[in-house]
Amino acid sequence: MDKSSPIGVFDSGIGGLSVLKQLIRFLPYESYVYLGDTARVPYGNKSPETVKAYAGQCTEFLLDKGVKLIVVACNTVSSVALDAVIKTAGKKVPVIGMIEPASEAALRETKNKKIGIIGTRATVNSGAYSALINKLGGKKIEVHSTACPLFVPIAEEGLDSHPAAKMIAEEYLSEMKNAGIDTLVLGCTHYPLLADLFRQVLPGIDLIDSGEHSSVRALRILADKDLLVDTKDEFVQKPKLDFYVTDLPAMFYDLAYKFLGFKIDKPQKIELE
């Protein structure tokens, strides 16, 4: 492992591309290996034991690629299996999940100490976000959590501007609106695509993008370990990216463009064991 080694990113599917977008924003000169376990998505309806097993396989794959840092771009894995990833990665390769950076950011941003958390059922039911926020912020912090399973298909189908999407968002977020939260943690990597929708329903809200804050942490870790790339050549239109998937969904390219904002090359299909 050296400065030229890539950063590894994995997710149960393609939602982690929103995290990759933020990594490219903060670390545009790095190279990346992205793994989407698209054959076994979603992880959210699997048992913790199964998620840990899948996460371990993804981690082993990235380690075989010689990555210098692993970003777990999946809130479900970050909620129930981050320790397993860290154990598999060992002491030499740092691991960053979604929960801690976003929780710390929410505590920094909130003014009235009322924080909302939205995510998949698995992420919300794990209680990982609320437990950490309460641990770091103490009893003075008021946390409201809601599972929002319909937001993922809305994001993937590009229906965020549809009237039905606003009705669903108003239903999901009504309790938080009544509670007067001023900060909302986007506990799913698809949710940044719906930022405008959330701001319509909760005017003036501060949105916490876990991908953004995990990317800032990645920058700091690599800088502290003197592992940032030396080359600062003029940035080209696309950074060096290697994509791997366990299945190639029909809408993969359209969704990848939606998340990243540029077209990607054909990913390599692999099997995980």
Tally the domains of the chain.
Answer: 2
Question: Looking at the structure, do residues 84 and 107 belong to the same domain, yes or no?
Answer: no
In the block, which residue shows the tokens 């692993």?
A: 70
Measuring CA to CA, which residue among 13, 127, 3, 10 is closest to residue 60? 10
Q: DSSP state, 129?
A: H
pLDDT of residue 139: 83
| Residue that terminates a domain, selected from 210, 237, 253 | 210
- CA–CA separation, 258 and 193 (whole Å): 8
Question: Looking at the structure, do residues 221 and 93 belong to the same domain, yes or no?
Answer: yes
- CA–CA separation, 34 and 70 (whole Å): 10
The rounded Cα 225 to chain-centroid distance in angstroms is: 23
Domain range enclosing 29: 7-97+212-269
User: How far, in Å, are 60, 185, 230 from residue 35 at the CA level?
Assistant: 11, 24, 25
Q: What tens digit of pLDDT does each residue of 171-230 get? A: 999 999 999 999 999 999 999 999 999 999 999 999 999 999 999 999 999 999 999 988
| Residues of the chain predicted below pLDDT 50 | none
Question: Looking at the structure, do residues 217 and 93 belong to the same domain, yes or no?
Answer: yes
**Residue 1 covered by a domain:** no
Q: DSSP state, 177?
A: H
| Residue that terminates a domain, selected from 210, 231, 251 | 210
CATH number assigned to the domain comprising residue 182:
3.40.50.1860
Question: Looking at the structure, do residues 65 and 195 belong to the same domain, yes or no?
Answer: no
pTM of this prediction? 0.92
Question: Looking at the structure, do residues 162 and 226 belong to the same domain, yes or no?
Answer: no
Question: Looking at the structure, do residues 187 and 134 belong to the same domain, yes or no?
Answer: yes
Catalytic residues: 74, 188
Measuring CA to CA, which residue among 7, 126, 27 is closest to residue 78? 126
pLDDT of residue 19: 97
Question: Looking at the structure, do residues 150 and 199 belong to the same domain, yes or no?
Answer: yes
pLDDT of residue 252: 84
Question: Looking at the structure, do residues 64 and 150 belong to the same domain, yes or no?
Answer: no
Sign of CA dihedral 53, 121, 45, 257: negative
Question: Looking at the structure, do residues 139 and 178 belong to the same domain, yes or no?
Answer: yes
Question: Looking at the structure, do residues 174 and 129 belong to the same domain, yes or no?
Answer: yes
Question: Looking at the structure, do residues 144 and 66 belong to the same domain, yes or no?
Answer: no
